[in-house]
Chain A
Amino acid sequence: MGKKHKNIRNVILILAGAVIVILGAGYKWSERHVYYYNAGQPHPINCASCHVYPQRDGFLAEFLNEDYLSPVNVAISKDQKTLYVTAQEGNKLVVVDLESQTVKKTIDVGLFPHSILLHPDEELGYVTNQWSNSISVIDLINLEIIDTLGTGYGPSGMSIDQEGKFLYVTNTYSSNLSIIDLESGEEIRRLNTGNNPMGAAVSPDGNSVFVCSRRTIPIPFRTPPKTELTVANTKTQRVDDRKFFVSAHIMENIAITPSGDLTIVTLVRPKNLVPSTQIERGWMMNQGIGIIENNNEGRLSQFILDDPNAYYPDPFDIVISNDGKRGYISHSGVDKITVIDIDAIREILATASEEDLKLFSNHLGISDQFVITRISTGSSPKGMTLSSDGSILYVAERLEDRVSMTDTRSFDFIGNLDLGGPKKISVTRKGAKLFTNAGHTFQNQYSCYSCHPDGHEDGLTYDLTGQGRNLANVQTLRDLSGTAPFKWIGTNVSVYMQCGMRFSKFVTRTEAFAPDDLDAVVAYIMRDLTHPPNPFQDLEGELTPAQLRGKVIYERTTTNDGREIPVENQCITCHPPPNFTNLLAADVGTKKEIDDYYLFDSPNLNNVYESAPYLHDGSAATLEEIWTKFNDHDLHGVANDMTKNQLNDMIEYLKSFGAAHTYTNMKTKEAKYENSSEKY
C-alpha cells in the first residue's frame, strides 16, 4: 500500500475512532443526563422530548404545533337552525348551520372567548372575551361584530333578564359582577362576588341573579374551604345574600329549574385536610352538585355524583330540561355526561333532615338514587345546550374541536359537528388531553386539572404525606419554563421528575405515565400554560402611584431608620423579574413544627395576586399576612420597620407582577422610575 493510501487510511481510522468515542461518550453522557432529569426512571434518549416539544417560539414550535379552536361554550337559536360556539384558543365565534351541519362562518372576537349568550330577540349575541376584558356584540343577522362593551377583568359567564334589558357578567379575575345596561351599552354597577366567579343565572321570575365562584374565600388555616354563591337582586341591583358551600369549591356553572324551585351548581368536594393515606373510597376528592332550595328558605345541600369505585371529576356545565325534570352535567375529567333525575332529587330533599343532608354530601351511594345514566363523549366535554324540545344535547368537546350531538331520549350518539380545527394531534395537544383526563389516576378520581384548573392552582393546601406533616400549598403550573427546581423544597429538578414515578406513588396511586405520555404532558405544561393578563398590571409598564411607591419599598436597600439591609434579605434578591424567583432555596423563617425542612424554594411570583393562600403550607391567607403574621424576625425580607401604608403599597406592587413574557420589553420602561423622588 502506498504511503499516501496509508495516510488516508489512518486519517479515516482516526476519524472513525473519534466518532465512536464521541458517540459512545456522548451516548453515556446522554444516558446520565436523561437519568438525572427523570429521577432515575426509564426514559428513551430523545432530545426532542425536553428540548423541542416544549418550545414556545421559533420555527420548530411553529412546525410541530397547530392552532386549535378549543370550543368551550355553545348556544342555540330559537329556530334550532344555528349553533354558536365560542372557540377559546382560536379567539373566534364559530357559527354552525345545523341543517347542513357545516360551519357557516367564523368571527374573530377578542382574546380567549368564554361564553356566548343570545339576546331574547335573537338579533344580537354577546361573547365574553376573558383576556380582553370586553364583550363582543354580534349582529346575528349579518354575523359581524357591531360593538364592544367594557367589563371588569376576566369576563366569563353571563346571564340576561327576560326583557333583555340588563346583562349580568361575571368577572373572574376581579371577582365581581358587571351589570350592563344593554340599551346604553354601559356598565352601570359592579357588585363584589365570591372569589373567582364563573357561572351566572337569572332566576325564572327575574328577581335574582345567582353567581357561583370557583375559589374559596379566605379561611383560617387548616379549615375547610368555603366557596360563595352570590345572590343579587335584579331590581335593587345589590347583593341580597351570600351563601357558602362548605368543603366545596370549583363551582363552574349554575342552572335554575324552570319553576325556580331549585338552583343547581356543579362543584368539587376536595379532601385537602384529610391525610392522604389512600385514594380508594373517595379519600382525595369527590365531585357533585350543590343545590339551593329556593322555596325552602334557601336551604343548601350537596350531593356526590361519584360511585364508590368510579369517579366523575371536573364537572363543568349543567343544563336543565325545559320541564325541569332532567339535568345534564359535563365532566371534562372523564369525558362523560351524567344525566340526573331532578324529580328524584326533589323527593330526597322533601324528607331529608339536616343530618341526612350532611350524610348525603359524603355518601358515594346517593348518586344511585338520582343518576339515570352516564353518556360517553370525546375529549374534555365543556359547555352544553339542549334543543328547544330537549331531544338533542349539544356538547362542546374542547380538545376535539367539535360539538357532539346526543339523542336524550335514547342516549344514543347522533353525530359530531366538525368546527374545522386542525386534524393533526400535536404532542402538546396530546398532553392537554392527558392533563385534563383522570385516566392516569386510580379509579379516575381526579385529573391534573382538578388541582390545577386552567393550569393554575386550586388555592388549597394538601397533606400529601398522610402524616399531618410537610403540608403542600398547591402551586401554579403556568409559565414554568426556566423556573426549575420544583416542589416547595426544590428537590425536583424537572417537571419530568415532578410528574414521574413519585407522582404516581403519592398522588395518582396508579401506574406512572409511559415515557411518551410523560413527554406530552410536560410539553403541554411548559409550552401551553401561561398566565392570563393581570388586571393590576399595565402592559406599557406604567405603575400606579401606589405601585410605584411599592416598587421603591420592594427594591430598597436600607430600612426606614437607615440601617443597611443585607443583600440576601432584600426582596429583589430572591424575587427578581421576569419570573420573580432566583431559583434558590432560602430560610425565610416560615418553618413550622410540622415541617421537616426549613429551606424553601423561592416561588415565582407571576400573577401572585391570584395565588392565595401563600407560603409553602398556605398558612398566610393573604399577601399581607406573610409579613404581619409570619415574619417576626425579618427573615422573609425586612418588613417590621415598615408603616402600614408602606406594606400596603408594596403589596400593590406585588399584585402588579404579571406573566414573565411581559417583562422582556419592559426594562427600558423601568429605567424611567429609577430616579423617582417618590419615597417616604
Chain B
Amino acid sequence: MMKKGSIVISVAILIVIAISLIMMTGGRKDFSGNILITFVPEDVFSSNSDPNLYSGSQLAILDPQDPSGSFQILTDNFFAAMSPQVSYDGKRVLFTGKMSEEDFWQIFEMDLDNLKPRQITSRDADCFDPAYLSCCKIVFSSNTSLPNFKIGAALFTSNLDGTAESQITHHPHYDASSVVLADGKILTLTQSIYPAQNNGYYMSLRPDGTMAEMFFKGSNRYHLYGRALETQSGNILLIESTDVDRKGGDLIKISYARPLHSKENLTGHIKGCFLSISEMNSNTYYVCYRPGANEFTGLYSYNMSDNSVGEVIYSIPGNHIIEHVAVTVRNQPRQLPSRVDNSLPNGYFLCMNSNTSYVTQNEGFNSISKIRKVEILGLEKIIGEVEVETDGSFYIEITADTPVRFLTKGEDNEVLSGPSSWVWVRPNERRSCIGCHEDRELVPENVVPLAINKEPVSLGATPQQGYSGGH
C-alpha cells in the first residue's frame, strides 16, 4: 500500500515538473540554424519597381536540413512583410510590414520564442530595412520629401520601444538596405535623388549620423543591390548588376580593410543572378539565386571555397524567394560613443587644403588650379561663401543637419570644380576633409591648417558659444 502510494506520488511530482517545464519553455521551438526568407508571388516580383518594398511579400522560416517539413509562414496576418534582420542573440527578428494595403510600412519586431510581432514605429511615412544596432537600438529607413516633389529616404535610429527616434542622415538621397558592421558603423546603400539621380554607392557612417563617407562604389555601369554582408573573415559580400531591372546580379567580394580597390566578382562565370547571401558560419553560406530569366528565385547553398552554387534548399512554385537571413548568434558590434549634442544648432567643417585633388587614378596626385573661394550650396539656395587661406584651408560653421555641397572658385570667381556630393554635419560634429575630390585613401599631411588658427567662418549658423572638449 505504502509502496503504491510512493509510486503515485513520484509520478505526480514528475508530471508536475514536466508541466512546469513545458509552461516555462512554452513548448518553444529553437530556431537557431534556421533561415528566415522573404518570398513574393511572381506577378508582384515582375511588376514591382521598388526593390525595397514588395506588396504581397511574406516572411517564413525553415530549417535547411528539413526545409519542407519545417517551412512555416510567420506573417500570414500581415498584408505584406519583408526585410528580416536577426538580433545578435539570435532570438528576435526585425522586419518591415503592413497590416493592410492602405497602411504605411512600419517596423516590427518578432520574438522567435512566441512568434508574436510588436510594432515599433508609427510614422506617417513608409519605414523599412531595419537593422539592429548594438545597445538596444535600431536603424531603419523612412521616406522623406525632397524638392521638386521627389521622394527620398533617410536613416533614422530609435530605441527598441520606438522612443528617441532621430533622423541621422540629412541629404537628398535614398538611403536603404542598412547593415551594421562589426566596427559599429552602419553600411547603407545610398543613391542621390536630387538634383540628379546616380547609381548609388555604399556609404558608412556612425550610428549618430556623423562621419558619413563612401565605403564602396562600383563603376558607372554597375548597379548595387540590397544589403551587404560582412563575413566573419572580414570581407564584405554584396550584389552588383549591370542591369537596373535585373533584380539581382553577381556576388561581389570586397575587403573591409581596403574596400575601394579590392573588388572581386565571385560569380561572373555563373549563369543566372543572385539576390542575397547569408553566412550561417564560416563554412556555410546560402544564397537567393535565380538560374535563368524565366525561372523562380530559390534558396540555394553556396560553396565559398570554389565559388559555385550548391543544391537548392527550397523553392516555392509561383514565388520568388528574394531575401533571406540566417538565424544565428553573432558578436555584438562595437558601441561607438557620440559627440553629437542636440542642444547645439551648428556643426563645423574643416578642409585641410582645398587645392588637393585626385583627378583620375592614372593621373595621380595633382594640385588643381589655385582655389580662392569656396561656395556652400544648400538644397535650393546659396548658403554662403568663404575665402580659403593661403594654404588652401578653410573652416566654417554651418547649421547642423542641413545638406550642403561645395563649389570651388578661382581668382576671377570662375568655377573650378563642383558642386561636390552632398554632405552634412550633425549638431556639434566637427567634420574634415583633406581637399576637394581627394583620393579617398589619402591621409592628411601633418601640418596645422591656417584656417584653424582663427574662429570658424559662420555661414548662416545660429550664434553659439564655442565648445571646448578634450581628453
Interface, chain A (partner B; CB < 8 A): 222, 224, 247, 269-275, 277-278, 280-283, 286, 304, 307-310, 355-356, 359, 362-365, 368, 442-443, 463-470, 472, 487, 498, 501-507, 509-512, 594, 596
Contact for B258 among A283, A309, A467, CB less than 8 A: A309
CB distance from B22 to the nearest CB of A (A): 37
Contact B468 A224 (CB under 8 A): no
Contact for A487 among B257, B430, B471, CB less than 8 A: B471
Interface check B443, CB cutoff 8 A: yes
- Quick one: CB contact mask for B427-457 with A, threshold 8 Å, 1 for yes? 0001110000001111111111100110000
Question: Please, which residues of chain B bring their CB within 8 A of the CB of A224?
Answer: 446-447
Question: Please, which residues of chain B bring their CB within 8 A of the CB of A506?
Answer: 339, 469-471
Contact B443 A364 (CB under 8 A): yes
Interface centre among A310, A464, A467, A510, by most chain B C-beta atoms within 10 angstroms, is A467
Interface, chain B (partner A; CB < 8 A): 183-184, 211, 213, 255-261, 334-339, 348, 350, 352, 364-365, 430-432, 439-449, 452-453, 466-471
A283–B446 alpha-carbon span in the complex (Å): 9
Question: Please, which residues of chain A bring their CB within 8 A of the CB of B466?
Answer: 467, 469
CB distance from B244 to the nearest CB of A (A): 29
Chain A residues touching B, majority SS: loop
24 cross-chain CB contacts under 8 A: A271-B446, A275-B350, A275-B430, A275-B452, A280-B211, A281-B213, A281-B443, A283-B432, A308-B259, A309-B257, A309-B258, A362-B443, A363-B443, A368-B258, A442-B336, A465-B468, A472-B470, A502-B471, A505-B338, A506-B471, A507-B471, A509-B336, A511-B184, A511-B336
Question: Please, which residues of chain A bring their CB within 8 A of the CB of B441?
Answer: 281, 308, 363-365
- Select from chain A the residue with minimum beta-carbon distance to B349: A277
Contact B352 A274 (CB under 8 A): yes
A442–B338 alpha-carbon span in the complex (Å): 13
A616–B8 alpha-carbon span in the complex (Å): 82
Contact for A503 among B184, B442, B471, CB less than 8 A: B471
Interface centre among B338, B440, B446, by most chain A C-beta atoms within 10 angstroms, is B446
CB distance from A28 to the nearest CB of B (A): 28
Question: Please, which residues of chain B bring their CB within 8 A of the CB of A282?
Answer: 443
Contact A269 B257 (CB under 8 A): no
Question: Please, which residues of chain B bring their CB within 8 A of the CB of A304?
Answer: 443
- Select from chain B the residue with minimum beta-carbon distance to A248: B446
**With A277-B432, A510-B337, A511-B335: A464-B471 Cβ-Cβ less than 8 Å:** yes
- Select from chain B the residue with minimum beta-carbon distance to A366: B441
| Known contacts A271-B444, A308-B440, then 19 further A-B pairs from the complex at CB < 8 Å, ordered by chain A residue | A224-B447, A247-B445, A271-B446, A274-B447, A277-B432, A307-B258, A309-B183, A359-B364, A362-B443, A362-B445, A363-B439, A365-B261, A466-B430, A468-B448, A487-B471, A505-B338, A505-B339, A505-B469, A510-B337
**With A224-B447, A308-B257, A510-B337: A467-B471 Cβ-Cβ less than 8 Å:** no
Contact A511 B337 (CB under 8 A): yes
Contact B470 A273 (CB under 8 A): no
Question: Please, which residues of chain A bring their CB within 8 A of the CB of B364?
Answer: 356, 359
The 6 closest A-B pairs by CB, nearest first: A468-B452, A282-B443, A307-B257, A310-B257, A365-B441, A277-B430
A141–B439 alpha-carbon span in the complex (Å): 58
Contact for A355 among B184, B213, B365, B442, CB less than 8 A: B365
CB distance from A131 to the nearest CB of B (A): 30
Contact for B448 among A273, A278, A470, A509, CB less than 8 A: A273
CB distance from B257 to the nearest CB of A (A): 4
- Select from chain A the residue with minimum beta-carbon distance to B333: A511
Contact B337 A274 (CB under 8 A): no
- Select from chain A the residue with minimum beta-carbon distance to B134: A511
A472–B213 alpha-carbon span in the complex (Å): 29
- Select from chain B the residue with minimum beta-carbon distance to A499: B471
- Select from chain A the residue with minimum beta-carbon distance to B449: A275
**With A283-B432, A467-B430, A472-B470: A505-B337 Cβ-Cβ less than 8 Å:** yes
A487–B335 alpha-carbon span in the complex (Å): 25
Question: Please, which residues of chain B bring their CB within 8 A of the CB of A363?
Answer: 439, 441-443
Contact A467 B452 (CB under 8 A): yes
A69–B443 alpha-carbon span in the complex (Å): 39
Question: Please, which residues of chain B bring their CB within 8 A of the CB of A280?
Answer: 211, 213
CB distance from B342 to the nearest CB of A (A): 16
- Select from chain A the residue with minimum beta-carbon distance to B183: A443
Contact A509 B337 (CB under 8 A): yes
Question: Please, which residues of chain A bring their CB within 8 A of the CB of B365?
Answer: 355-356, 359
CB distance from B135 to the nearest CB of A (A): 9
Contact B258 A365 (CB under 8 A): yes
A365–B348 alpha-carbon span in the complex (Å): 28
Question: Please, which residues of chain B bring their CB within 8 A of the CB of A464?
Answer: 469-471
CB distance from A440 to the nearest CB of B (A): 10
CB distance from B70 to the nearest CB of A (A): 37
A31–B406 alpha-carbon span in the complex (Å): 51
CB distance from A305 to the nearest CB of B (A): 12
Question: Please, which residues of chain B bring their CB within 8 A of the CB of A277?
Answer: 348, 350, 430-432
CB distance from B9 to the nearest CB of A (A): 41
Contact B443 A309 (CB under 8 A): no
Question: Please, which residues of chain B bring their CB within 8 A of the CB of A509?
Answer: 336-337
Contact for B443 among A271, A465, A511, A512, CB less than 8 A: A271
A510–B441 alpha-carbon span in the complex (Å): 21
- Select from chain B the residue with minimum beta-carbon distance to A271: B446
Contact B446 A272 (CB under 8 A): yes
A445–B467 alpha-carbon span in the complex (Å): 26
Contact B334 A286 (CB under 8 A): no
A469–B456 alpha-carbon span in the complex (Å): 12
Interface centre among A247, A309, A487, A594, by most chain B C-beta atoms within 10 angstroms, is A309
Contact B446 A270 (CB under 8 A): yes
A650–B440 alpha-carbon span in the complex (Å): 51
CB distance from A514 to the nearest CB of B (A): 11
Contact B469 A465 (CB under 8 A): yes
CB distance from B235 to the nearest CB of A (A): 12
Contact A511 B334 (CB under 8 A): yes
CB distance from B393 to the nearest CB of A (A): 10
Question: Please, which residues of chain B bring their CB within 8 A of the CB of A271?
Answer: 443-444, 446
Contact B447 A273 (CB under 8 A): yes
A396–B447 alpha-carbon span in the complex (Å): 36
A283–B438 alpha-carbon span in the complex (Å): 14
Contact B446 A247 (CB under 8 A): yes
**With A270-B446, A271-B444, A310-B257: A465-B470 Cβ-Cβ less than 8 Å:** yes
- Select from chain B the residue with minimum beta-carbon distance to A492: B471
Question: Please, which residues of chain A bring their CB within 8 A of the CB of B470?
Answer: 464-465, 470, 472, 487, 506
A200–B471 alpha-carbon span in the complex (Å): 36
CB distance from B23 to the nearest CB of A (A): 34
A281–B431 alpha-carbon span in the complex (Å): 13
CB distance from A60 to the nearest CB of B (A): 31
Question: Please, which residues of chain B bring their CB within 8 A of the CB of A498?
Answer: 471
CB distance from B144 to the nearest CB of A (A): 26
CB distance from A384 to the nearest CB of B (A): 23
Question: Please, which residues of chain A bring their CB within 8 A of the CB of B258?
Answer: 307-309, 364-365, 368
CB distance from B419 to the nearest CB of A (A): 22
CB distance from A580 to the nearest CB of B (A): 23
- Select from chain A the residue with minimum beta-carbon distance to B395: A468
A468–B467 alpha-carbon span in the complex (Å): 12
- Select from chain B the residue with minimum beta-carbon distance to A280: B211
Question: Please, which residues of chain B bring their CB within 8 A of the CB of A443?
Answer: 183
Contact A472 B443 (CB under 8 A): no
A470–B452 alpha-carbon span in the complex (Å): 12
Interface centre among A275, A465, A504, by most chain B C-beta atoms within 10 angstroms, is A275
Contact A309 B453 (CB under 8 A): no
- Select from chain B the residue with minimum beta-carbon distance to A221: B448
A281–B211 alpha-carbon span in the complex (Å): 10
CB distance from B347 to the nearest CB of A (A): 11
A274–B339 alpha-carbon span in the complex (Å): 19
Question: Please, which residues of chain B bring their CB within 8 A of the CB of A281?
Answer: 213, 440-443
Contact for A275 among B260, B261, B337, B432, CB less than 8 A: B432
A66–B1 alpha-carbon span in the complex (Å): 66
CB distance from A40 to the nearest CB of B (A): 14
